[in-house]
Amino acid sequence: MNVAIVGGTGYGAVELLRFLHNHPYVEVKKVISHSNSGTKLAEVYPHLVNVVDIEMAELDVHTLAEEVDLVFFATPSNVSKRYIPDLVDKGVRCIDLSGDFRLRDGKKYVEYYGEEMAPQSYIDKAVYGLSEINKEAIKQAMIIANPGCYPTATTLGLIPVLEKGLVNPNSIIVDAKTGVSGAGRKLSLNVHFSEMNENFKAYKVGVHKHIPEIEQMLSERAEQAIQVIFTPHIVPMTRGIMSTMYVDMKDVYSTEELIQLYQEYYQTHPFVRIRKEGALPATKEVYGSNYCDIGLYADERTGKLIIVSVIDNLVKGASGQAIQNMNIMCGWEETTGLHQLPIYP
């Protein structure tokens, strides 16, 4: 199958290439970059020298539709919505790593993204690509709204207890921490090395774009409107996300019981791993891989359940899950091309 990647100079694109390079059924036919069209990808990313010999091109919907069957958009917000409708109309499936098609409620998009939303009819067509949860819908989708990094770690950690009704859905606090690569390659004082190294910061408290996305997914699974407190922080490391989550248990459950519930819930999902009692996952334990690792601690003293969920923000939080979704769409084994183990240490 031939695919294209739009957004060739971002980290999302190079991660897609890292996995697609070893994918048995896919060839990357085109890499699109507006800012670098005409340039070889390996000139922008020397780690690809001698390996990836692709010259970046301008986006042209017509030729793209002729050359490829599927397009990945690894672009900032407010780009994919301009191209995906046309591509889909021409029969090209699209996986969008940006937020343009994630929110069903256009007002939320306007509020949190500060721009006009995508056309509603195409939003309606889009499937939210949380692979483990929406697998059936993903199989049929023409447009995948690939989940954000924080929402992936957060919702995978919360859905089992929410669905089972074991916790109070309006007590959710998410204290989230991300590595710096989530900020992308765009220069900013905030992620200037000397400012970020040996530093730990909270940011966008109460206003982060991922809040409505998390609430939408959780509300859907819990079948009631849910509000979450979500506080993102940035960690002086390149990769990794941890969501530490706090919820009120409706009854007294032991850590052991809950772990068993999670293991059963994710039994057929190879990329979600549940830690044993007494162990909590660290971000390095999923580094470079598509795993989401989850640990639980039921604090009997206070009645709170603490859930720790980790992913690599660029893999399960972006490009890895996008490929997982492509595999599902194409009827291939979900893990195809994603067999890389975490790189440790």
Site for its own copies in 192-211 (CB under 8 A): 192-203, 205-206
CB nearer to its own copies: give 74 or 286. Answer: 286
Candidates 229, 260, 264, 268: give the one binding its own copies (CB under 8 A).
229
Stretch that binds its own copies, among 69-77, 99-107, 288-296, 316-324 (CB under 8 A): 288-296
Name the DSSP class of 316.
I
What the block records as the tokens of 36 is 């670098």
The DSSP H or E segment spanning 139 is helix 135-140
Q: Is residue 106 close enough to count as binding its own copies by CB under 8 A?
A: no
Q: Is residue 110 close enough to count as binding its own copies by CB under 8 A?
A: no
Candidates 231, 250, 277, 332: give the one binding its own copies (CB under 8 A).
231
Query: How big is the CA angle at 246 (ends 252 and 77), to the nearest 5 degrees?
Result: 145
What the block records as the tokens of 278 is 């007494």
What is the rounded distance in angstroms from the CA atom of residue 51 to the CA atom of residue 128?
A: 33
Q: Which of residues 295-334 bind its own copies (CB under 8 A)?
A: 295, 297, 299, 301-302, 304, 306, 308
Q: Which of residues 16-75 bind its own copies (CB under 8 A)?
A: 17-18, 21-22, 45-51
CB nearer to its own copies: give 24 or 331. Answer: 24
Stretch that binds its own copies, among 64-72, 108-116, 156-164, 236-244 (CB under 8 A): 236-244
Written in H, E and C, the secondary structure of 143-187 is EEECCCHHHHHHHHHHHHHHHCCCECHHHCEEEEEECHHHHCCCC
Q: Minimum distance between the CB of residue 254 and its own copies, rounded to whole angstroms?
A: 13
Candidates 281, 317, 322, 325: give the one binding its own copies (CB under 8 A).
281
Q: Minimum distance between the CB of residue 293 and its own copies, rounded to whole angstroms?
A: 8
What is the rounded distance in angstroms from the CA atom of residue 173 to the CA atom of residue 89?
A: 41
- What does DSSP say about strands 201-202 and 229-234: parallel, antiparallel, or unpaired? antiparallel
Stretch that binds its own copies, among 29-37, 78-86, 131-139, 292-300 (CB under 8 A): 292-300
Q: Which residues contact 178 (CB under 8 A, 6 or more apart)?
A: 149, 150, 232, 233, 234, 235, 240, 241, 313
Phi, psi dihedral angles at 194 (to 5 degrees): -65, -20
Stretch that binds its own copies, among 24-32, 67-75, 115-123, 273-281 (CB under 8 A): 273-281
Q: Minimum distance between the CB of residue 179 and its own copies, rounded to whole angstroms?
A: 8
Contact 128/134 with Cβ under 8 angstroms?
yes
